[in-house]
Amino acid sequence: MLKRAVSLFVCIVAWVGVAYGLANGKLQIHHMDVGQGDGAVLISPKGQVVLFDAGEDMKKRDCSKPVSYLDQLGIDHIDFLFVSHYHFDHIGCIPAVLEQFHLQGDAYDRGENYAGTTYGNYVKAVGTHRKTASIGDSITLDKNSQNPVVITVVAVDGKSQHGAVQTSNENDLSLAVVVSFGSFKEEIGGDLSGDNTQMYQDVETPVAPDVGKIDVYKVHHHCNSHSTNDAWMTATRPAVGIISTGDGNDYGHPTADCLERLHKHNVKAYWTETGNGGEPEAGIDVVGGNIVVEVASNGPSFTVTFGGSHVDTYLLIGTGAGVPMNTLPVAITPKYAWSKNSTHYTDAHK
């Protein structure tokens, strides 16, 4: 009798984990903990799947963690792929992912060529699905729905609607998109820079007006010193920032000055791991592993799930007068989801 009860419990827990990731009528954006790298997967309310980067583990040079996470969600294919740039902490696991979850539609990237085996493996994996992105390109998910999801390219190769920045730095050349669902908006921009130095050029400032106010900001370049400038923060005014960083990384990410800029603009930051830079500040920084954003259709709020069982709720910024902005959590309710990704894993960054 006890054995049967345990088996039933395991089945129920497993079902909850799968159901959590499959189409549930909400927009889901899962920011996967890939250590010092990047990887996110979007699931539309009706079940279309979009992958944003898939970085490779730095220490193990192994892709079992992101592949396992996608499998856990019950995903069996990828509809579209957006690649920010060609560093292996962003594309190293794309071949492994696409081998198990076949790509159905286009793979958008910045075009051109890049030296190295990792880039060659990526190009081979996407094959004829590869498409060079241009400013203003967009895809619409759930087209037959009254509440579609729209993903729009706002920066690529240092270019935006407000001009072009001359740079050869691979990070500066990152493809950036805005995900829109009703009045909800999230920006995902790889390793875009916001500083003018011998190495980097400021792409954030000219692209910021094209992005406008957003609810969620996938913090550029793992929250390094040359990202997340004040002009960007003033124009976009996010309530939530999500930082993908790896424990013990060699880059000092997230940096104290990047965190300070987020804090100054009242952004609550969710980190995938503790990293190896600035210390998290109680009440405004949360280290939570896989970070999941969910938005209900026509709802007044969105949620951020972290640590597998904790949920913060935020009011949407919206576009009308009097809608609260940069709202701190108005409710915290437990949410339990089965996960076989309980350990941290790290990735490389260039």
Bridge partner residues of 80 (DSSP): 50
Alpha carbons 262 and 272: distance in angstroms, whole number: 16
Give the pLDDT band of residue 250 (cuts 50, 70, 90): confident
**pTM score:** 0.87
Mean pLDDT of the chain: 87
Contacts of 329 (CB under 8 A, 6+ apart): 268, 312, 313, 314
Q: Could you tell me the pLDDT band of residue 59, with boundaries at 50, 70 and 90?
A: low
Report for 2-11, 162-171, 314-323: range of highest mean pLDDT: 162-171
pLDDT over threshold 50, residue 298: yes
144-153, 210-219, 311-320, range with the lowest pLDDT: 311-320
Which residue blocks in the chain are alpha helix, DSSP H? 2-21, 64-72, 88-91, 94-100, 117-126, 204-211, 230-236, 256-264
CATH code of the region 19-334: 3.60.15.10
Place of tokens 């920006």: 187
Rounded-to-integer distance, Cα 110 and Cα 158, Å: 10
Domain locations along the chain: 19-334
